[in-house]
Amino acid sequence: WILWIWYFSPRRGRWILNIVAANHPNVSTVGLVVRSHPDRQPVLFVGRGYTSSHPPISTRNLAQDPVFSYEETAKLAVAGRLSEYDHHFVASFAHRHHVYFLFYRRDLKSQSREYRTYISRVCLDDQAYYSYVEVPLTCRSRAGKIYNLLQAGPTGIVQGRWRDPRFRVFTWCLLYSFGFIYSAQRRLTMTPLSNILNTLDAYPCGSDHTPSPMASRIAVEVETILDSPSARLTAVAVSVRVGHTIAFLGDSRGNLHKVFLGPNGEVEEYSVIPVQVNTAISSDLILDQKEEHLFIMTKNMKRPVAECQQHTDCHSCLLAHDPYCGWCVLEGRCVLKSQCSRGNQPGQWLWSFDMEQQCLTVQDLSPSNVSREESRMVSL
């Protein structure tokens, strides 16, 4: 991270200190470099917790001097004191035409003043933040317990039943659908009048005449998809391979959980790997570009997402129940489907995660023995 940079302002006739990240170990900073259009220069969106007079969210210039600067409009304007908006940022990502921020802060408007988690968004090319909208997120367990503190959030898109959602990790694991979030944010910005011209469709990124910023007090609530009663979940990374979605979850006790998400909504944890006992897995759980390896920053460890080669026979390969792996029949090895030369042909690659798969066995051999000098037809 760039913490700060000095630049000389000819207009002001003096050197200006431009602070980018929050230079404090207990104050979070997130950032994202994006282009609003392919023919435009990239900009840096920064979300940072409260340390001084700097806005919680701003758009920084990268293409021209002074670098990392922002105009007075290219920031989130807040009502009241900045200290009331002490965001703890967890993640940021771009989706379609918006940048999203995930954070939590105290709800100073409520009597309990408890922490709440929010998702906010702003249009990529909105330099005045007219389009800024934020909505609270709530996680509820199957037993009815509510969890409000977001722990981690990657940018993986899940396929199948949950169309275009994103993973979020509170104490337990859950999914938020962009459909739910978009609907909530759209309801917040729409007018009840049907014959008015200045609608959300006419001004999808707002304008100087539209109210901004906008915040909802009604949360988007979902139920957990995976319970982890023995340890708090602290990290998440998501991989989508050949239509299957795999979530890698780190917990507070130093374990890495591998979870399969099926296209019809099925959820199954198929592996738990100890990484560093009683040391929480860092939220910086990252997949490489090809999604073949996972970086675990708790121990600066790099490990493959699948370890099929450790299963040396068909039975151990299928018993592993690993959705990445399968038994390549003709080659006699446990591999990824892409590594099996005839993997796309029926019966040539036995998927480890399919409970109905069985290893091939010889049921009958005729004749059962024959002289090595004799040439005969053998039937299996």
CATH of the domain at 328: 3.30.1680.10
Given 206, 227, 248, which residue is the final one in a domain? 227
Cis amide bond preceding 367, omega within 30: yes
CB 116 within 8 A of CB 197: no
Residues 80 and 149 placed together within one structural domain of the fold: yes
Amino acid sitting at position 308: C
Amino acid, single-letter form, for residue 303 = R
Tell me, yes or no, whether 259 and 171 share the same domain.
Answer: no
Phi first, then psi, for residue 221 (nearest 5°) are: -115, 135
Task: Tell whether 293 and 248 lie within a shared domain.
Answer: yes
| Shared-domain flag, residues 195 and 325 | no
Q: What residues are paired with 355 via a beta bridge?
A: none
pLDDT at position 161: 41
Query: Is there a single domain that holds both residue 97 and residue 223?
Result: yes
* pLDDT of the residue at 344: 94
Give the Å distances, CA to CA, from 22 to 47, 196, 262: 9, 43, 40
Q: Using one digit for the tens of pLDDT, what is the confidence trace for 28-49? A: 889 889 988 888 888 889 998 8
Using CA atoms, how far apart are residues 131 and 109, in angstroms rounded to an integer?
23
Omega cis (within 30) before 213 = yes
Q: Are residues 252 and 337 in the same domain?
A: no
**What distance in Å separates the CA atoms of residue 162 and residue 264, rounded to the nearest whole number?**
9
Q: Give residue 4's pLDDT.
A: 56
Q: State whether 125 and 241 are in the same domain.
A: no
Question: pLDDT digits over 59-115, tens only?
Answer: 888 877 666 776 666 788 766 676 777 889 988 888 888 899 999 988 877 788 888
Domain boundary at 305, 334, 362, which?
A: 305
* pLDDT at site 310: 94
Spatial separation of the C-alpha atoms in residues 281 and 256, rounded to whole Å: 8
Whole-prediction pTM: 0.75
The verdict on 299 and 317 lying in the same domain is no
Q: Which of 259, 233, 251, 258 is nearest to 170 (CA)?
A: 233
Q: Which domain holds residue 123?
A: 3-227
Count of domains observed in the chain: 3
> 209 with 248, same domain?
no
Same-domain status, 96 and 200: yes
pLDDT value at residue 6: 60
Clarify whether residues 188 and 324 are in a common domain: no
Could you say which of 227, 251, 284 is where a domain stops?
227
Based on the domain organization, do 254 and 213 belong to the same domain?
A: no
Write the CATH number for 158.
2.130.10.10
What is the biggest distance separating any 2 CA atoms in the chain, rounded to whole angstroms? 101
The per-residue pLDDT string of the chain (380 residues; one tens digit each, 9 = 90 and over) reads 555 566 556 666 666 666 677 777 788 889 889 988 888 888 889 998 887 777 889 888 887 766 677 666 678 876 667 677 788 998 888 888 889 999 998 887 778 888 888 999 999 988 888 889 998 888 887 778 787 778 777 554 444 443 344 555 554 455 555 454 555 555 555 444 444 455 556 667 877 666 778 888 888 887 777 777 788 888 888 888 766 789 999 999 999 999 998 877 788 999 999 999 999 998 888 899 889 999 998 888 999 999 999 999 999 999 999 999 999 999 999 999 999 999 999 999 999 999 899 998 877 878 888 888 888 887 87
